[in-house]
Structure 1
Amino acid sequence: MPYATASDGVRIAYQLQGGGFPLVLLAGQSNSHRWWDSVRGDFDATYRTVTLDYRGTGESDKPDQPYSTEGFAEDVIAVLDELGIERADVYGTSMGGRVAQWVAARHPDRVRSLVLGCTSPGGPHAVERGNDVRRSLVQPGAGAARRALLELMYTPAWLATHPGPYHTVGDPGMPEYARRRHLRASNTHDAWEALPGIAAPTLVLHGTDDIFNPTANAPLLAERIPGARLQLIAGARHAYFEEFRTIASPLVLDFLGGLNEGT
C-alpha cells in the first residue's frame, strides 16, 4: 500500500487506477476510499483516479487528535505532492465536498475543475438536517440506526433490490474515537467566507430528495462560488452518485470534459 506523509508525520494511504489526467475522488465522513468502489470505473477510462483513506480510516494512520476538513485538505495536497501531480480535477461528495472546498480555495493552482456533490458550506449559513433525522441516527440498537442511515442514503426501491454490501455507511474498521473526530470535523466545517475565492470552474450536484444533507445547500454553494453550475437529480437521496450513477457520472464527465477540452 503506497503512502504519503502529511506535514505532521501521519501516513495517508492512497490508491491509483486508470490513466489520463488526474481526478481526485473524495469520500464522505468516516469512510475510506471504498466509498467510490461501485462507481470508480465510470471515470477510469478517461482519468487517472486518485483516492485516499482519510486519517482515521482504511490503511491510513489513526491518531487520536483533532481532525478538521482543512486538515483533510492538506492531506490531499500531501498525496498530490507525493505523486508529483501539479494539477488535478477534484470531485468530492458529502464531507468530501467540504474537504474539496478547502483544496480549491487554498490551493487554486492545484485544482483545474471542481465538482461538489451532496455537500454544504457549513457554518451558520448552511441548512442543517432536521431533528427527526438526527433522532433516527441515534436510535438504541446499531441495527435500527444503520437502517435509518441506509434509508437516508438510498430510496426504498434501491434497497429492495440491492442487498449490499454498502460502502457508504462508514468504514467498519474505524476506531470509535476516530468516528467522533470525523463527526466533529464535518460538523465544524465553515468555508462560507472562502467560497467566493474559488476560481476553478465548479459543478454543484445534489439529489432533490436528500434530507441527510438538505438539498437547499446546493443553491447556496452555487450562488456563493463564482460562475458555478447547479444540477439537481430528481428523486435522488444522499448517495445519488451510486444509485443514480447512470445520470450522475455522465453529468460529471460531460462537465469536466467540456471545460477542459484541449487543456
Structure 2
Amino acid sequence: MTVDRVPVPGGDIAVEINSGTSAPILVVHGVSSQRMLWGWLREQAPHLTLVAPDLRGRGDSVDVTGPSSLGRHAQDLDAVLDALGLDAVHVCGMSMGAFVSVEFAARYPSRVKSLVLVDGGVPVGPPAGLTRDNVAAVFADKVAQSQRRWNDVDDYVDFLVSTSMPLLDRADPLLRKYAEHDLADGSPRLSSAAVVADATDVFFGDSRFRELTMPIRFLHAQWSVGADSAPMYSAQDIDALDLTAISPMVGLDHAGTVMTPVGAAAVGAMIDEAVVSRPD
C-alpha cells in the first residue's frame, strides 16, 4: 500500500494505492465518507488493484480549499489519473461517489472502461422533505452532530453505528480503522461546506447519466438506514433501468453494501465481471 499526493486546485488530494493482480480500479467514496470505506473490499477481494482517493473536504484531503461539486470532483479524479500515468480505468463509486463516477464518465468517457455503481449514480428524486431551500440546513446539521470532539474512538464508532450504520458490527476492526481515519485529534475530518454542496448537486443538479455509453453495472440495497427502512431506489426505479447488469443486495442497507463482508464480496464480484468483460 502506498499513499500519493496529487496537486489539484486548492491543495493536494491524498490517494491510496493497494496493488493486486487486476487492472486498476478507481474507487470513489460517499458524501461523508473517506477512502477507508474500501477496507472491506480490500479484504474480500485482495487481487483487485484499488486506486482510492480521499475526495476534497474529507480525510487526508480535508484541507483542499475551493468550491466542491460533482464536476470539481470529476476534475480532481482526472488529475489523479494523469499523475498516476493511467489512461483509462474501471470505476466503482458508492453513494455520492457513484454520482461523481457518472459525472467523471460523462466528462472523460475515454478514461472510463466501465462503471460499477453501488446504491447511487442512477438519477433519483430527493428524500421526502428535502428541498433545494433546506438542503443546507439538513446536511449541515447532520455534519454538526458528528463534529464534536471524540476522546475515545470506541465512542465515535458507537455514534456511527447508532446513527447511520445500525447494521454494522461495532466490534469489526475494519470499522475501527475507518473511524480512526475519520478523526484528527479527536475531531472528524469532514468539511460541512463540501457535504452541503455535494448533496445539493446530487439531488438538485443535472445528471448526465443518460449520456453514458460504457458498460454500467448497478448494485442496490434493500434498505436505506437499518432493516425495513425505505430503500433509496424503489422497485419502479429499478424496473425502468436498462443496464449491463443489475443486482439487488438483499438483507443489506446503504452502508452495508460496502462496509460488510457480504456486501464487499458482492461488489468485488461485480468488479471482476466488469474487468473480465473488458480486460484491455
- Identify which range, 10-19 or 81-90, moves more after superposition: 10-19
Instruction: From the superposition, tell whether residues 65 and 259 of structure 1 become closer, same or farther in structure 2 (CA, over 3 Å).
Output: same
Shift of 1:78: 0.5
CA RMSD across the alignment: 3.6
CA distance in 2, matches of 1:172, 1:77: 27
What does residue 204 of structure 1 align with? Answer: 218
State which of 175, 178, 199 in structure 2 corresponds to 1:167: 178
State which of 234, 241, 247 in structure 2 corresponds to 1:231: 247
Structure 2 SS opposite 1:255: helix
Instruction: From the superposition, tell whether residues 116 and 180 of structure 1 become closer, same or farther in structure 2 (CA, over 3 Å).
Output: same
Shift of 1:109: 0.2
CA distance in 2, matches of 1:114, 1:106: 14
Gaps of 5+ in 1: none
The one-character-per-residue Cα deviations of 1:98-121 (angstroms, maximum 9, x if unpaired) are: 111111111110000101112144
1:127-146 superposed matches below 5 A = 127-128=126-127
Q: Give the count of matched residue pairs.
A: 253
State which of 269, 276, 279 in structure 2 corresponds to 1:251: 269
Instruction: From the superposition, tell whether residues 172 and 218 of structure 1 become closer, same or farther in structure 2 (CA, over 3 Å).
Output: farther
* Letter matched to residue 248 of structure 1: A
* Letter matched to residue 178 of structure 2: H
CA distance in 2, matches of 1:246, 1:145: 20
CA distance in 1, matches of 2:258, 2:266: 6
Gaps of 5+ in 2: 131-137, 149-154
CA distance in 1, matches of 2:269, 2:162: 24
Asked if the contact 2:27–2:52 (Cα under 8 Å) also holds between the matched residues in 1, the reply is yes
Instruction: From the superposition, tell whether residues 116 and 246 of structure 1 become closer, same or farther in structure 2 (CA, over 3 Å).
Output: closer
Instruction: From the superposition, tell whether residues 169 and 241 of structure 1 become closer, same or farther in structure 2 (CA, over 3 Å).
Output: farther
Instruction: From the superposition, tell whether residues 150 and 73 of structure 1 become closer, same or farther in structure 2 (CA, over 3 Å).
Output: farther
The one-character-per-residue Cα deviations of 1:10-47 (angstroms, maximum 9, x if unpaired) are: 211111111331101111113221111232233441x3
The one-character-per-residue Cα deviations of 1:201-254 (angstroms, maximum 9, x if unpaired) are: 011111111248933268647846x63422111110012122223641343234
1:43-122 superposed matches below 5 A = 43-45=45-47, 47-60=48-61, 62-121=63-122
Structure 2 SS opposite 1:227: coil
